């Protein structure tokens, strides 16, 4: 099976991930609650913010690149043969989130007794981010 990747779609998906995160963690959305849950102050948040954003951008590119491989494999499989490339991208992103994101992150509230609200905020962001990325990668083949 030849895997063909659209690097512009990967770049667009990474940009979308950064946009989703900046909206998701904005104070009017979940930012204020998230900051309280992790004991973050605006002053602490500003320190090292540029490096944090660079790190997140690199992480978003890696995630988009790997998700593009997953989507390419899914599109070539008979499991998704009845759906559009867009929907295959979304389905693949959802299953990646459920199997790798949700399933791994649930250990926080279960074992470390961290906040369920923090878990829901973070995993919700991951779900919306991956769905956006999967939609872009699937539709822009």
User: Which pLDDT tens digit goes with each residue over 52-104?
Assistant: 999 999 999 999 999 999 999 988 777 766 779 999 999 999 999 999 999 99
Q: State the pLDDT at residue 120.
A: 98
Is residue 45, in this structure, part of any structural domain at all?
yes
Is residue 2, in this structure, part of any structural domain at all?
no
Cβ neighbours, 10 Å, residue 26: 12
Is residue 1, in this structure, part of any structural domain at all?
no
Is residue 84, in this structure, part of any structural domain at all?
yes
pTM score, two decimals?
A: 0.93
Is residue 42, in this structure, part of any structural domain at all?
yes
Token reading at 108: 């926080």
Report how many domains make up the chain: 1
Is residue 37, in this structure, part of any structural domain at all?
yes
Nearby residues of 121 by Cβ (< 8 Å), 6 or more positions away? 24, 30, 33, 34, 37
Is residue 111, in this structure, part of any structural domain at all?
yes
Query: Which structural domain range is residue 62 located in?
Result: 7-139
């Amino acid at each position: 099976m030849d895997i063909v990747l659209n690097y512009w779609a990967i770049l667009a998906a990474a940009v979308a991930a950064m946009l989703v995160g900046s909206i998701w963690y904005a104070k009017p959305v979940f930012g204020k609650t998230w900051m309280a849950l992790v004991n973050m102050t605006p002053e602490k948040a500003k320190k090292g913010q540029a490096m944090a954003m660079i790190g997140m951008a690199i992480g978003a590119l890696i995630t988009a690149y790997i998700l593009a491989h997953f989507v390419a494999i899914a599109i070539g499989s008979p499991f998704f043969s009845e759906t559009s490339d867009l929907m295959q991208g979304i389905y693949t992103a959802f299953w990646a989130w459920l199997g790798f994101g949700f399933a791994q992150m649930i250990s926080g509230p279960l074992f470390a007794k961290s906040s369920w609200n923090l878990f829901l905020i973070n995993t919700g962001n991951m779900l919306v981010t991956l769905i956006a990325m999967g939609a872009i990668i699937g539709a822009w083949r």
